[in-house]
């Protein structure tokens, strides 16, 4: 159920929405969970971000960057400096929009693991939703490494069986081959009902992702990978307020004091 503050019985106009956005609205309206929004504009911005996240996921998959561990990561050194830990730091003189777009234009020059791919997708969704001037202003010092991200990309973590296109879900592989740590789990963007993008696997159903992870288990293992109930998505209201220059609610997260969470056997920095 969708509840918009102050709207009363006013019917939501979905005529200008894409098919994907209308489907998200339909699913939320039919849900037993109440999804509350401060305004119709807040809902519409979330829908645009979800749609842009799905599009960015498909675009990153189409650009065909490699999948590898941090140890063997690579990047286009015209735009990025590779750090000792395997991350990519934006070169001086390169705008954030330029550096990010190059990953989608010259994907074969890059290789990284799945958490970095998710952050890249979120950044591209923000760029496509907000525009280049906003992105370059609020995300000036891009560093791509695991779940590391700028403080203005606030991520919300939730749990439960209900998810929507644009959400990121996690597939733990608890008995992965220790010689292949990059396969200890898969972060995947939901694109549609039972369709996900997971870097290194591609666009596939949940069953196909689990089957792919199971092929990377320790020899003799019978412990299957599975879909966890963790859901991660950007704080779209924070981004919307930044774009409209409204004061954001709550404490600002400092980039030097990241939130740390553990998903399965992995430690993530948010």
Distance in angstroms (rounded) separating the CA atoms of residues 40 and 248: 17
Helices (H), the chain: 19-30, 40-63, 96-105, 114-130, 132-138, 206-214, 236-243
Q: Quick one: which of 133, 65, 46, 66 has its CA closest to 103?
A: 65
Strands 2-4 and 35-37: parallel
Domain ranges of the chain: 2-269
3-state SS string for 164-223:
CCCCEEEEECCCECCCCHHHCEEEEEEEECCEEEECCCEEECHHHHHHHHHCCECCCCCC
| 215: its two tokens | 């092929």
CB 202 within 8 A of CB 137: no
**Dihedral pair phi/psi, residue 245, rounded to 5°:** 60, 30
Strands 230-234 and 155-159: antiparallel
Q: What is the pLDDT along the chain (270 residues), one digit of tens a residue?
A: 999 987 766 778 888 999 999 999 999 999 999 999 999 999 999 999 999 999 999 999 999 999 999 999 999 999 999 999 999 999 999 999 999 999 999 999 999 999 999 999 999 999 999 999 999 999 999 999 999 999 999 999 999 889 999 999 999 999 999 988 889 999 999 999 999 999 999 999 999 999 999 999 999 999 999 999 999 999 999 999 999 874 444 333 333 333 333 333 333 332
């Amino acid at each position: 159920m969708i509840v918009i503050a102050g709207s009363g019985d006013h019917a939501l106009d979905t005529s200008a929405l894409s098919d994907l956005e209308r489907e998200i609205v339909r699913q939320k309206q039919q849900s037993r969970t109440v999804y509350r929004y401060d305004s119709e504009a807040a809902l519409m911005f979330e829908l645009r971000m979800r749609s842009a996240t799905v599009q960015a996921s498909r675009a990153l998959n189409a650009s065909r960057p490699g999948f590898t561990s941090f140890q063997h990561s690579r990047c286009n050194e015209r735009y990025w400096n590779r750090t000792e830990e395997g991350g990519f730091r934006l070169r001086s003189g390169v705008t954030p929009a330029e550096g990010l777009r190059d990953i989608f234009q010259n994907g074969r020059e890059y290789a990284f693991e799945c958490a970095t791919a998710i952050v890249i997708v979120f950044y591209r969704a923000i760029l496509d939703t907000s525009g280049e001037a906003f992105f370059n202003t609020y995300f000036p010092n891009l560093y791509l490494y695991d779940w590391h991200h700028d403080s203005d990309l606030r991520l919300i973590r939730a749990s439960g069986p209900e998810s929507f296109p644009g959400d990121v879900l996690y597939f733990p592989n608890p008995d992965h081959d220790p010689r292949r740590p990059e396969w200890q789990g898969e972060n995947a963007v939901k694109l549609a009902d039972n369709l996900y993008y997971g870097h290194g696997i591609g666009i596939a159903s949940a069953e196909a992702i689990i089957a792919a992870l199971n092929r990377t288990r320790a020899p003799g293992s019978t412990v299957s990978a599975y879909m966890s109930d963790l859901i991660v998505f950007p704080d779209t209201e924070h981004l919307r307020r930044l774009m409209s220059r409204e004061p954001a609610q709550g404490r600002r997260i400092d980039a030097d004091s990241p939130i740390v969470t553990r998903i399965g056997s992995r430690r993530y920095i948010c």
